[in-house]
Amino acid sequence: MDRRQELTQQDLAHLWHPFTQMGLWPGEPPLIIERAEGNWLIDVEGKRYLDGVSSLWVTVHGHNHPAISAAIAAQLKDLDHSTLLGLSHPLAIRLAGELAAITPAGLSKVFYSESGSTAVEIALKMAFQYWRQAGRPEKQTFVTLEGAYHGDTLGAVSVGGIDLFHQVYGPLLFPVHRLPQPHCRLCRLGLTHPACDLACAQALEPILQRHGQEICALIVEPRVQGAAGIIVQPPGYVRRLWEIARAHDVLFIADEVATGFGRTGQMFACQLEGIEPDLMCLGKGLTGGVLPLAATLASQRIHDAFLGRFDEFKTFFHGHTYTGNPIACAAACASLELMRQNDLVVSLVPRIEQLRQGLARLARMPHVIEVRQQGLMAGIELTADKAGALAYEPGLRMGHQVIMACRPLGVIIRPLGDTVVLMPPLASSEQEIAHLLRAVETAIAQVTEGRQP
């Protein structure tokens, strides 16, 4: 038995993979990644693949970047771990200051955790407890968007709106108000942008007029609903929501776990919209895609509602064991330093334009009904019949077929249903983006038109 077979056997014996139908897993021998170089993943047999999913939307500067690796190694000589419960350490302090400096004005306090989901849980609990302690304890409900994705823990699932992921847990979830999904092609209100004047955002107004007294916060993935299939909102949409929420004394939570750190072409999507959220969730790209670290940023006003004597019990009673791990903080500081050195946001401009041009070509393919892009995140939605806008039978798993056809072409990506998602590392070169586009075009043609490779 060779090494790949041996590892495969052990994988099948003991590993339960996330978001994976394990019944089908043995049918497709797993791709086992052993090494990485720059933006490329290398499997146990030495085959190279462009990391077109940025290892689930996290990779910024490429894998194993020497500056981040060196920062981690240096930190390991000083301090591997020490708790933030009752103690502090220099890297957590430094990173908190840097995050407060680069995020929208007003966000001045940083609360660490380890995943996007926990960053969201923390924001929800902070918003809820804020109103209890600000004298409005009746403000307890959240407003969210149809198709939203905020993570997989129960609070995050409650404010999520992806039926495929969330339906089964219904009895465990708390009720929320939902706004229509801002997806212009499939407008739930039957309107056309821009004549609609953002009616889907305006839909927040009557909800808050009627229920504002009981609503504590609105949570939004600003500019792009990622897991919904890279649904890009029209410009001004998020700002409209923010203005309405503010006018009704409802907190605004920006979930920038996916959109943060340059992914949208701006450092944060909130900056594209010129808004100042009360709470912001960060994760994914925070450490450059190297270690699990997340952060929830809060305004001074929210933070100060938690101040009091001990026996007033206004403390934020929340904290994970590894919160603010020093090694993860060191990786994040090194990543932010690289972003400054490389002028990340400016460096992205030509790559975003290159992706736009490539996507325009893909949009003309007979089985592509829509391409959606914001910065270096893109979705290519497949259709059985373009004129009739017919979806494929879900059982055909067309998106999955396309991403599997990309593998022999040297590209790893992941679909969301029948939307092929492109999420290249932010440090991708011109050649790498071209390689990605070429492989995806070939794979879509092969799978949808039966064209031979």
Gap between the Cα atoms of 68 and 61, Å rounded: 9
Q: Where are the beta strands (DSSP E) in 156-207?
A: 177-179
Comparing CB distances to ligand PLP, the nearer of 226 and 326 is 226
Q: Cα 43–48–49 angle (5° rounding)?
A: 100
The torsion angles phi and psi of 255, rounded to 5 degrees, stand at -90, 95
Comparing CB distances to ligand PLP, the nearer of 226 and 379 is 226
Nearest to 60 by CA among 351, 279, 275: 351
Q: Where are the beta strands (DSSP E) in 201-241?
A: 215-220, 224-225, 231-232
| Number of residue whose CB is nearest ligand PLP | 116
Least Å from the CB of residue 223 to ligand PLP: 11
122 touches 318 (CB < 8 A): yes
Nearest to 141 by CA among 177, 180, 117: 177
Least Å from the CB of residue 229 to ligand PLP: 12
Interface positions with ligand PLP (CB under 6 A) = 115-117, 120, 149-151, 221, 226-227, 255, 257-258, 283-284
Comparing CB distances to ligand PLP, the nearer of 117 and 299 is 117
Comparing CB distances to ligand PLP, the nearer of 230 and 443 is 230
Comparing CB distances to ligand PLP, the nearer of 227 and 382 is 227
3 state SS of 253: strand
Six token digits for residue 284: 């994914």
Least Å from the CB of residue 78 to ligand PLP: 27
Six token digits for residue 405: 């056809």
Gap between the Cα atoms of 24 and 22, Å rounded: 5
Least Å from the CB of residue 257 to ligand PLP: 4
Least Å from the CB of residue 259 to ligand PLP: 7
Least Å from the CB of residue 283 to ligand PLP: 5
Gap between the Cα atoms of 92 and 99, Å rounded: 10
Six token digits for residue 216: 């504590």
- Which helix H or strand E contains 170, and what residues bound it? none
Contacts of 258 (CB under 8 A, 6+ apart): 57, 116, 221, 224, 226, 227, 284, 377
Least Å from the CB of residue 284 to ligand PLP: 6
Comparing CB distances to ligand PLP, the nearer of 109 and 284 is 284
Least Å from the CB of residue 132 to ligand PLP: 25
Comparing CB distances to ligand PLP, the nearer of 38 and 104 is 104
Least Å from the CB of residue 377 to ligand PLP: 10
254 touches 222 (CB < 8 A): yes
CA–centroid distance for 446 within its chain: 29
Contacts of 343 (CB under 8 A, 6+ apart): none
Comparing CB distances to ligand PLP, the nearer of 115 and 401 is 115
Gap between the Cα atoms of 208 and 244, Å rounded: 8
Comparing CB distances to ligand PLP, the nearer of 254 and 403 is 254
